[in-house]
């Protein structure tokens, strides 16, 4: 029985050999994964940006490619630090495997590989990535809450000096609303700082690109509005 957590997972397979890509596609699709193919670094970058896969399987040696698998791994990790990647190669050695894992790959699998091992590594890599994302989201939420409290406190008079008759707008909203107001201003400021580049903004605030999009949507922040606001600010300061 196919797990519900698998049916909506997409995997990017990067290999210069069409036969290998078809082989891996067949194994993964039989298990309910959706598969995206790329034969070189340019296609990999395009599919990574356009399709936002959940995991990548990268061949280290790519003939006719501007970048090899290790360089692609590095670019993926710079954009999405917790993005799970499995490296594969028919000419690997221990040194290559250690280097790949040290640079962020979940594991290294040597060709030819058994389908059971490949599927096990994929499942474990996805599980680890999900836990890392959950922990990071909780950390970010906690940090934003702390920042929100600090922002609120900066507007408050000393408790000893405040009488019951004193009114302050910050007391007229719920804690949730105050936190959302801060998150909205904070994220808009970060988008402005990075000139509307969502990938750079996501990397800076420590969120996955897809998670940032969800956060912006939950805060009723239109990406177009945020980018237009950035253009407006630049024209005023230019």
CATH H-level superfamily of 156-237:
Homeodomain-like (1.10.10.60)
CATH topology of domain 4-129: Rossmann fold (3.40.50)
pLDDT at 147 over 50: yes
List, as one string, the DSSP characters of 3-50. -HHHHT-EEEEE-S-HHHHHHHHHHHHHTT-EEEEESSHHHHHHHHHH
For 70-121, the pLDDT digits (tens) are: 999 999 999 888 899 999 988 767 788 888 898 899 999 988 889 999 999 9
Return the higher-pLDDT residue of 71 and 1: 71
Q: Are strands 10-14 and 34-38 parallel, antiparallel or unpaired?
A: parallel
Residue range(s) in the chain whose domain bears CATH number 3.40.50.2300 = 4-129
3-class DSSP state of 92: coil
For 173-189, the pLDDT digits (tens) are: 677 777 787 788 888 88
For residue 167, the model assigns a pLDDT of 44
For 20-30, the pLDDT digits (tens) are: 999 999 999 99
CA–CA separation, 34 vs 54, rounded Å? 10
Residue range(s) in the chain whose domain bears CATH number 1.10.10.60 = 156-237
């Amino acid at each position: 029985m196919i797990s519900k957590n698998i049916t909506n997972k997409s995997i990017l397979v990067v290999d210069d050999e069409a036969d290998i890509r078809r082989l891996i596609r067949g194994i993964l699709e039989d298990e309910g994964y959706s598969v995206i193919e790329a034969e070189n670094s340019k296609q990999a970058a395009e599919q990574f940006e356009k399709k936002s896969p959940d995991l990548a399987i990268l061949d280290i040696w790519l003939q006719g490619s501007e970048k090899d698998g290790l360089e692609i791994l590095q670019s993926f990790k710079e954009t999405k630090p917790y993005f799970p990647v499995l490296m594969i190669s028919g000419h690997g050695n221990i040194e290559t495997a250690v280097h790949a894992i040290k640079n962020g790959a979940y594991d290294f699998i040597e060709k030819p590989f058994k389908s059971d091992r490949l599927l096990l590594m994929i499942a474990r890599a996805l599980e680890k990535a999900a836990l890392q994302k959950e922990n990071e989201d909780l950390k970010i939420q906690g940090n934003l809450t702390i920042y929100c409290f600090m922002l609120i406190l900066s507007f408050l008079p000393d408790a000893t000096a405040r009488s019951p008759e004193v009114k302050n707008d910050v007391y007229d909203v719920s804690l949730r609303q105050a936190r959302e107001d801060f998150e909205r201003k904070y994220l808009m400021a970060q988008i402005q700082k990075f000139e509307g580049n969502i990938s750079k903004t996501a990397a800076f605030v420590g969120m996955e690109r897809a998670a940032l999009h969800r956060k912006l949507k939950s805060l009723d922040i239109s990406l177009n509005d945020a980018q237009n606001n950035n253009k407006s600010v630049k024209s005023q300061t230019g």
